Amino acid sequence: MPRAVTAVHGAALVLTLAAFAHTLWYGIADPGHALAFGALVATGELARWGAPRGEREPAPLGAAGALAYALLGPSAGEPTTHGVFQVIAVVVAAQLLAAVPHVARGNGPGPDLAARRMLSVAFAAVCFQPLHNSGQSARWFGEGPYFALFLLLLLALTALCDAVLAALLLRARTRYPYGPLLRDELRALLGIGSAVCATGAVMAIGVAVAGLWALPVLCVPLLLTQVSYRRYAAVRTTYRQTIASLARATEIAGYTPHGHARRVAELSTAVGRELGLSGRELTVLEHAALMHDIGQLSLVDPVAGGATATLPAAEQRRIALLGGAVVRQTGVDTAVAVVVERQADPYREQPLSARIVRAVNAYDDLCGASVIGPLGALEQLRLGTGHDYQPEVVEALAGVLARSGPTALRPG
């Protein structure tokens, strides 16, 4: 396990053990509030049932409830004294309880997500609870708009902490460049992340005024947001599956080897991350890589082995233009069609995504169409860097293969 992952998991475990020990020793303060917020977090975690794999925040209600408890000051005008360690203990206990049915189904929350959640909540509690319990926050900010701004600032810092941890853990496990990963995480905060933070702040303020009865009322907007987000994620998944099905048409018709489009898409995405692409750029790259050979369906006679990289340059460009025309007819993003159309141009005239698709497709073609093997295919690409392949793309490809093993994505 990478050191960064071990460090994050270790810090989360130490804080959890300290929180449980402190709570057991001193008892639970305000047990009614602990039970209410614990039930809210557990309910939110149970609501992650059916969340798409890889979703950044599968339990937004649980995250909002945990943040609200960390930022809880008074309740119905009466002071609370639960403190930092009790916040951690209640949140972790609720997560563990809610994880039981998920684990029973073989779909339990990953340790990275659990550690991130705990450390982010601990960060918010450490920033807020000591100030509240000492009375400093009331003296500095009062109970008006300045206090609300203070909560928003804490939430922004907590969201930034969570994004930094998420990018750090992903960087440690994938070894992709940290900058693009952090940009992806920060961009994700503008979606469901902002709803989680806003609901957490509103819950804390609502309970401060109206007491615990505010919790069920304030849960409804986020639950509706979660349902809408799940539907959007389902549509997006269906869209990608449609593109993947179109890409397989060349394999079913016998124009390209089995798995070629998938391998090119996976390796192109990895190379794109290596070169700093993120967000929509990676999505366009993946879709273009899946559909890069669709122009071969317009050919009367299939190319031997589907290896377009071995064809004359003029024929490669003709097939690419045919492919772009097909993609435009499918209703897929125009940017995908542009990449498909320009994948056979000289690399100095191509956008970066087209350079990546061209190099990765050539690598897979050369591995499958000859006995030179992965190292020989890379050497062929390096020999073509004067005109056909961008040197930086070829070296990024070599770096990705060196980490995953040179035969990891080679035709089987």
CATH architecture of 248-404: Orthogonal Bundle (1.10)
pLDDT at residue 57 in the model: 62
Hey, what are 49's tokens? 């049932």
What share of the chain in percent tops pLDDT 70?
92
Model pLDDT for residues 20-52, shown as the tens digit of each residue: 999 999 999 889 999 999 998 888 888 765 555
* 238, amino acid identity: T
pLDDT digits (tens, 9 = 90+) for 82-134: 889 999 999 999 988 888 887 777 776 678 888 888 999 999 999 999 988 88
Q: Token pair 């124009």 is at which residue?
A: 255
The pLDDT value recorded for residue 53 is: 56
Structure tokens at 389: 């392949």
Q: What is the pLDDT of residue 149?
A: 84
Q: For 317-368, what is each residue's pLDDT tens digit? A: 888 888 888 888 877 888 888 999 888 888 888 899 999 999 998 898 888 6
The string over 21-53, giving b where at least 16 C-beta atoms fall within 10 Å of a residue's C-beta and e elsewhere, is ebbeeeeeebeebbebbbbbbbbbbbbbeebee
Quick one: pLDDT at residue 306?
66
CB atoms within 10 A of CB 195: 21
The residue among 204 and 371 whose pLDDT is bigger is: 204
Q: Are 164 and 116 in contact (CB under 8 A)?
A: no
Query: If pLDDT is split at 50, 70 and 90, which confidence band does 369 have?
Result: low
Answer whether 336's CB lies under 8 Å from 379's CB.
no
CB atoms within 10 A of CB 85: 21
Secondary structure of residue 55 in the 3-state scheme? coil
Mean pLDDT, all residues of the chain: 83
Decide if 270 contacts 257 (C-beta within 8 A). no
pLDDT in the model for residue 305: 67
Q: Concatenated DSSP letters for 181-244? A: HHHHHHHHIIIIIHHHHHHHHHHHHHHHHH-TTHHHHHHHHHHHHHHHHHHHHHHHHHHHHHHH
Instruction: Select the highest-mean-pLDDT range: 154-163, 186-195, 402-411.
Output: 154-163
Average pLDDT over residues 79-84: 87
| Radius of gyration over every alpha carbon of the chain, rounded to an integer in angstroms | 26
Confidence band for 407, pLDDT divided at 50, 70 and 90: very low
* Confidence (pLDDT) at 246: 80
The ranges assigned to domains in the chain are: 3-236, 248-404
Segment 185-205 shows an average pLDDT of 82
Is the separation of the CB atoms in 139 and 145 below 8 Å?
no
Report which of 292, 315, 275 is spatially closest to residue 362, judged by C-alpha positions: 292
Residue 406, pLDDT score: 46
The mean pLDDT value for 250-278 works out to: 86
Position 23 scores a pLDDT of: 92
- Greater model confidence, 192 or 45: 45
